[in-house]
A and B are shown apart, each in its own frame.
Chain A
Amino acid sequence: MRKVLVLFAHPKFEHSEVNQALIKAITGLENIEIRDLYELYPDFNISIQKEQEALFEAEVVIWHHPIYWYSCPPLMKQWIDLVLEFAWAYGPGGIYLKGKYILNAITTGGSQEAYQHQGRNNYEIGDFLRPFEQTARLCHMHYLAPFHVAGTHKITDQQLLQKAHSYKEFLLNLRDGADISQFNNR
């Protein structure tokens, strides 16, 4: 059983029904730790020490956040800037994340079709996530395909329930699956 760490960042979680459903579905599961970044660091004063300890324990890491303007909310970026230190996460001696798995779990207002080369956003979601992918690679981590909940503006309760369930299954698989490198997106 792998340890899974969900790094969750939503500046206004109380207003996001989708993310509430997702988080609710994965709360209280064994070996799945959720770190709610906006709750932990309302003033953006991230404790690098604590975050690195949590990272060190985990084998699978998830960046869970909504997509705002084709990227993550600012606190998540702050987390990346501060926690993934030189000579700890990358560079000489930066071996503490080596071999771990990481991926984005994201929600977008735009639909799956909007994130197509012919769609309104011109690129696929994976293209927008390139910075995360390369970040993972620089830290010697395996970057896996994202978990994507699209079209949140028009999602029905039924659909949402389904999505939440599959998010839970997805995480359980990451936790218990024999070989998870199959999730690799390329």
Chain B
Amino acid sequence: MNGFLLNAILYILAAIICVPVAKKLGMGSVLGYLIAGILIGPYLLGFITNEGEGQDIMHATEFGVVMMLFLIGLELEPKNLWKMRQLIVKVGLTQVLITAALVFGIGMMLEIRWQISLAIGLSMALSSTAIVLQSLKEKNQMNNPIGRMSFGVLLMQDVAVIPILALLPLLIFGEATPATDAAGMHGLVDSFPGWAQTLSIFAAIGIVVLLGQYGFGPLLNWVAKTRVRELFTASALLIVVGISFLMELVGLSPALGAFLAGVILANSPYKHALESDLEPFKGLLLGLFFMAVGSTINFSLIFNNASTVISLTLGIILLKTIILLIIGKTKKLRLASNLSFAIGLSQVGEFSFVTYAFALQLGIFDQSISDTLMAVTALSMTITPILMVILDKVIIPAINQTHKAIEKDMDSIDEHNKVILVGFGHFGSTLGRFLRANGVEATILDSDPDRVEYLRKMGFKVYFGDGTRAELLQSAGANEASILISAIDNTEYSIKLVELCREDFPHLEVMIRAKNRYDAFELMEIGVENIYREHLDTSIRMGEDVLKKLGFRAHTVHRLAKQFRDYDEDALKVLVKFKDNRDEYISKSRQQIELQESLLSGELMRKFSINDHTWDSDSIKEAANTDGNS
């Protein structure tokens, strides 16, 4: 089984088969990928014969975690992150310290060397950012209390990786292998003295903040102006890869750096465009990562030491769950939420693989300890999603039935709007201003980078991007919104948008600007109901003023105008059917003329002002005069 293409086919096929099945069974995509990995791994179907291969892929695809944190950063504005500081420090730090301490204590009781116990304890304290966040996002729980507490813990753990990696070399006992370039996380600056390392760490963070504030915006703006979409994607990748490189250079967690950059860019007009461009990469990389985890589970080791491995796995899951449950209790989480919070975070995370490898190279672990821990970790990553399914399907419904207390949500940071407005030119901006004047904020998308920048300066929240990609609409909140407005003067484009919405967001009510009657026809033919011809209202309003200047009464004109507009809209609905028959042989312009003709003759038949009998007393007078005695 060699060759890149064959491998690619294998992985993709396994994912395509397993993930939908897992989703159908209500298990979430993470478990699907893990199972796919186990299936193609060396112990089941044996497509991947080499254990090392899975680990290689795992290391390569860890980049997906970096991207995920960048994307999460994008959704978290700095002020919201600041609001979470208590959560991160208190909940997160408590979890890491207590878990590490308890595992360390248990290790000591089992008379394992204290250095080994400490290294295990610190590694086991970490949870899997990839699994937890992916599941939370899938269940749409990122913005509720469980999601935010979980995120706080995970963020703290990501920070904790740095001191843990720094601490491990101090635990070397006996004859140690030299620690230089031991783990992937350490880079060039290792040869520097301590103070220079610290300095370079601060410098790197400073560079990320400065670039995020002043560098990335102009870069993206410049690239966006070329209107070559893949260049924009490339720039997005460049930002993430570049930051990761910089972070690794100074020995920081790339995920943390990417997260930081994401937070800084959260206010950028390119936020949604970046999200939609990176989302597929992140998804694929994470999927591969989960599969790699699945394929590295060493089943022969597990079967040979079944009792040890399984009891260790269940033990660590139980221990972490209990600690998290207690923390959740102090934060007044309801039992059901607390269980999802605690069990969700109870696995050992992917960063632990890094610490194991590092500890192995430092000589703290021997090969058998490392192998066992690897197996325990991978197994725990597989078991917790299964536990979550059981929890969601069986336990939580049972709890909810016994006591129906309604959970009071902490203040939500979800700021998705009900209305998405695509196109912010003259038409869209007037519309947007009108909505805003009446307290309705719309999420605005526009594809002209100059205009986006200008409008941002004017205080509008405008995002860069054209709405014809599902991911962009998704990140603009299409799932939560109820109305999508296209204020763009390009009907072809609007039609694409309508079709996209119908496909992916059928709940959205679409309201479309049309240039003229002919464009309105096209929109009507694909079933759009809310069509707004841009000239209709203005021309009639002008006509109203003409009639008033000619001496017509204002209220009468007001009513006539309304009638005329209704008539015009109705006539269009009739004519759209008539148009179909002639499409083939009449040119567009000829068609327009015919249309005008039939409209005009229709109007002559109607004689609006003559046939307006409202408030007429003629017939009453007639009756009165013939009657003669009223």
Asked if A43 CB lies within 8 Å of chain B CBs, one says yes
Interface contact A109-B625, CB-CB below 8 Å: no
Residues of B within 8 A of A39 (CB): 553-555
Complex CA distance for A43 and B614, rounded to whole angstroms: 16
Asked if B111 CB lies within 8 Å of chain A CBs, one says no
Asked if A15 CB lies within 8 Å of chain B CBs, one says yes
Indicate whether A12 sits within 8 Å of B630 (C-beta atoms), given known contacts A109-B617, A153-B624, A154-B625: no
Interface contact A38-B617, CB-CB below 8 Å: no
Indicate whether A12 sits within 8 Å of B614 (C-beta atoms), given known contacts A39-B553, A42-B557: yes
Contact with A along B554-596 (1 / 0, CB 8 A): 1111100000000000000000000000000000000000000
Complex CA distance for A154 and B624, rounded to whole angstroms: 8
Asked if B214 CB lies within 8 Å of chain A CBs, one says no
Interface contact B615-A15, CB-CB below 8 Å: yes
Complex CA distance for A109 and B615, rounded to whole angstroms: 12
Residues of B within 8 A of A15 (CB): 615-617
Interface contact B555-A153, CB-CB below 8 Å: no
Interface contact B616-A120, CB-CB below 8 Å: no
Asked if A114 CB lies within 8 Å of chain B CBs, one says yes
Contact with B along A21-48 (1 / 0, CB 8 A): 0000000000000000011111100000
B contact residues, range:
10 to 19
Q: How far is the CB of B190 from chain A (nearest CB, A)?
A: 74
Asked if B404 CB lies within 8 Å of chain A CBs, one says no
Interface contact B556-A12, CB-CB below 8 Å: yes
CB under 8 Å from chain A, chain B span 605-627: 614-617, 620-621, 624-625
Residues of B within 8 A of A12 (CB): 553, 555-556, 614-616
Residues of B within 8 A of A11 (CB): 555, 614-615
Interface contact A153-B620, CB-CB below 8 Å: yes
Asked if A111 CB lies within 8 Å of chain B CBs, one says yes
Say whether chain A's binding surface is mostly helix, strand, loop, or mixed: loop
Complex CA distance for A109 and B555, rounded to whole angstroms: 22
Q: How far is the CB of B617 from chain A (nearest CB, A)?
A: 6
Residues of B within 8 A of A40 (CB): 554
Residues of A within 8 A of B557 (CB): 42
Interface contact B624-A109, CB-CB below 8 Å: yes
Complex CA distance for A38 and B554, rounded to whole angstroms: 7
Complex CA distance for A42 and B541, rounded to whole angstroms: 13
CB under 8 Å from chain A, chain B span 224-240: none
Asked if A110 CB lies within 8 Å of chain B CBs, one says yes
Q: How far is the CB of A46 from chain B (nearest CB, A)?
A: 12
CB under 8 Å from chain B, chain A span 61-75: 75
Complex CA distance for A120 and B624, rounded to whole angstroms: 13
Complex CA distance for A98 and B412, rounded to whole angstroms: 53
Residues of B within 8 A of A153 (CB): 617, 620-621, 624-625, 630
Interface contact A120-B630, CB-CB below 8 Å: yes
Asked if A53 CB lies within 8 Å of chain B CBs, one says no
Residues of B within 8 A of A14 (CB): 552-553, 556
Asked if A13 CB lies within 8 Å of chain B CBs, one says yes
Interface contact B553-A13, CB-CB below 8 Å: yes
Q: How far is the CB of B609 from chain A (nearest CB, A)?
A: 10
**Which residue of A has the minimal Cβ distance to B622?**
A153
Q: How far is the CB of A127 from chain B (nearest CB, A)?
A: 19
Residues of B within 8 A of A109 (CB): 617, 620-621, 624
Residues of A within 8 A of B630 (CB): 110-111, 114, 120, 153
Residues of A within 8 A of B624 (CB): 109, 153-154
Interface contact A42-B625, CB-CB below 8 Å: no
**Which residue of A has the minimal Cβ distance to B614?**
A12
Complex CA distance for A43 and B621, rounded to whole angstroms: 29
Most buried by A among B557, B615, B621: B615
CB under 8 Å from chain B, chain A span 141-170: 152-154
Complex CA distance for A156 and B447, rounded to whole angstroms: 70
Chain B residues engaging chain A, CB cutoff 8 angstroms: 552-558, 614-617, 620-621, 624-625, 630
Query: Could you name 12 residue pairs across A and B whose Cβ atoms are closer than 8 Å?
Result: A12-B615, A14-B552, A38-B553, A39-B553, A39-B554, A39-B555, A43-B558, A75-B555, A120-B630, A153-B620, A153-B625, A154-B625
Extra 11 A-B pairs, beta carbons < 8 Å, given A15-B615, A42-B554: A11-B615, A12-B556, A12-B616, A13-B553, A15-B616, A15-B617, A38-B555, A40-B554, A42-B555, A109-B624, A114-B630
